[in-house]
Amino acid sequence: MRKKAGIRAIPERKYCCIKADNLFGFLRSFKHEYPQNRRRNIYKNIFYGGRKNALLQEWIDDEEIVGNFVKDSQKVECDFQYANILIPANNEESYIAKLLDSLLQQRVKNWVPCIVVIANACTDSTVEICESKAADFQRLGWKYTVLETAQPGKCNAINLGERSCQPGPRIYLDADIVCSENLVSAICNALDTSAPLYATGKLSVMNPRSWISKQYRNFWLETPFIKSRAVGAGVYAVNDAGRARWGDFPEIISDDTFVRLNFSPSERVEVNEEFHWPLTEGFRRLVKVRNRQNMGVDEIGQLYPEIVSNEGKKNFSASNLLYLLFSKPVPFFVYSLVSAAVLLKKHENQWDRGR
């Protein structure tokens, strides 16, 4: 049993709590003092279990009633805080259910997830899939909102979603990733400081289906970009002090690069929890994605040259290239072929997933 059980008091939107040893005594008194029809509505929102806080999700308007029940129950302060999770989504019906299911499995302690999905210009069943998960999140006592806009654009979607954010860490997720069960808690704990900070998890690239993407992956994982840690491809997060470094998200290609470069290497943290991220499939799509990635980096260099010095990653050394050439000849050739095709390809501002 957990050491604390929480009671949510709506007017201040704060949490107070009583020690678990006194919880059942509290409920016995509650049974005798409160009308049965109201008790039923509140009882159904009390949760127990390995990773769930015993929260009263019911909005209780009368603070005096709450106070009467907890005043003799060794009331103590509780440090619950919001963990904002923003998920911009554009036609993600094949992916987003897996992400939401992984969020439902999160083991959060002293954090109350506030999840906002922003469906932008969707023409598939993304919205319906997201709305179908609402009851599951509500049963956990978490805040869950699905927003919909006809305007396309990831950065615009993020700006809309941030209007629903509470004070506390902000975690930005791509709709096609899958989170390990402790990722949210680990990121929030890392960001629980007054100093500006950026955090992400350990990138785990899913094994592609196509042969050429498998070979590309085998080499890409050896690049200085991946080896530099705190990559943030698909998952990045900031605390309140870090988020204060810029205003609205600008309309740019690479939002993750923009945010990462707003922090020096010493201000970027990689927690020891994985997230799983899909690589795009096939040669043509690999070229398209790499081209767009390069465009995004070039755009930031042109628009925000003052933050480029925060990159901090090393380039390939001649010895590393020679080692990879002889140890991974086929992945080396495939990666070089994709890179050469990108150099020959005209810049096409067209979105695709992956790296």
pLDDT in tens, the chain (355 residues): 333 333 333 333 333 333 333 444 444 444 444 444 444 444 444 433 333 333 443 333 344 444 444 444 343 344 578 999 999 999 999 999 999 999 999 999 889 999 999 999 999 999 999 999 999 999 998 999 999 999 999 999 999 999 999 999 999 999 999 999 999 999 999 999 999 999 999 999 999 999 999 999 999 988 888 888 788 889 999 999 999 999 999 999 999 999 999 999 999 999 999 999 999 999 999 999 999 988 999 999 999 999 998 987 777 778 888 888 889 999 999 999 999 999 887 655 454 554 4
* 3-state DSSP assignment of residue 266: helix
At residue 116's C-alpha, the angle toward residues 111 and 120, to 5°, is: 160
H or E segment to which residue 337 belongs: helix 329-344
Strand order in the sheet with 198-205: 143-149, 111-120, 81-89, 170-173, 235-238, 198-205, 268-277, 178-179
Closest C-alpha among 197, 217, 171, 188 to residue 331: 217
Instruction: Give me the DSSP letters along 13-74.
Output: TEEEEEEGGGHHHHHHHHHHHS-HHHHHHHHTT---SSS--EEE-S----HHHHHHHHTTS-
Residue ranges per domain, the chain?
4-77, 81-310
Distance CA 268, CA 247 (A): 20
Global confidence as pTM: 0.76
User: What is the sign, positive or negative, of the torsion defined by CA atoms of 196, 102, 203, 126?
Assistant: negative
Domain 81-310 annotated CATH 3.90.550.10: yes
